[in-house]
Structure 1
Amino acid sequence: MKTHKGAAKRFKVTSTGKILHRKAFGSHLLTKKSAKRKRNYQKDYQVAATDKSKVKKMLGA
């Protein structure tokens, strides 16, 4: 099965098998957002357990 290129750009698989993603809404309308909120947009977060199998399928892993 081919890799879903849109998913490949948005998700990263770690060496231990975790799937990471970035949070949405962190690239525009930043003046109204607090420094703490903007800082948290920079982090990578784990994909929810319920979505993990779907994302793995899209990544061809």
Structure 2
Amino acid sequence: MPKMKSHSGTKKRFRRSGTGKLMRAKAFKSHILTKKTTKRKRGFRQETEIAAADSKVVNARLAGR
């Protein structure tokens, strides 16, 4: 049986930090930016850790299971 492939979309959206946490980009940064404050938009630049509830699924997709 051939090897399982990692999920390509998951590879593009998540990365593992140096300490092993799964990181994701923040939402709401793509459009309708004029009404959002500069401080709020600046906050969207930082990555954040994914929720514990989602980590099982994301780990499985990255591992190719």
Provide the identity percentage: 46
Give aligned pairs, total. Answer: 61
Query: In 2, Cα distance between the equivalents of 1:36 and 1:14?
Result: 25
Once the two structures are TM-superposed, the CA of residue 56 in structure 1 deviates from its matched residue by 0.6
Calculate the TM-score normalised by the size of structure 1. Answer: 0.90
Structure 1 unaligned spans of 5+: none
Aligned match for 2:19, one of 16, 32, 42: 16
Structural RMSD (CA): 1.3
Question: Which residue number corresponds to residue 35 of structure 1?
Answer: 38
2:59 to 28, 51, 56: 56
Report the structure number with the largest CA radius of gyration: 2
Q: What is the identity, as a one-letter code, of the residue corresponding to 2:50? A: V
For structure 2, the residue ranges without an aligned partner over 5 or more in a row are none
Extract structure 1 runs of 4+ deviating beyond 6 A. Answer: none
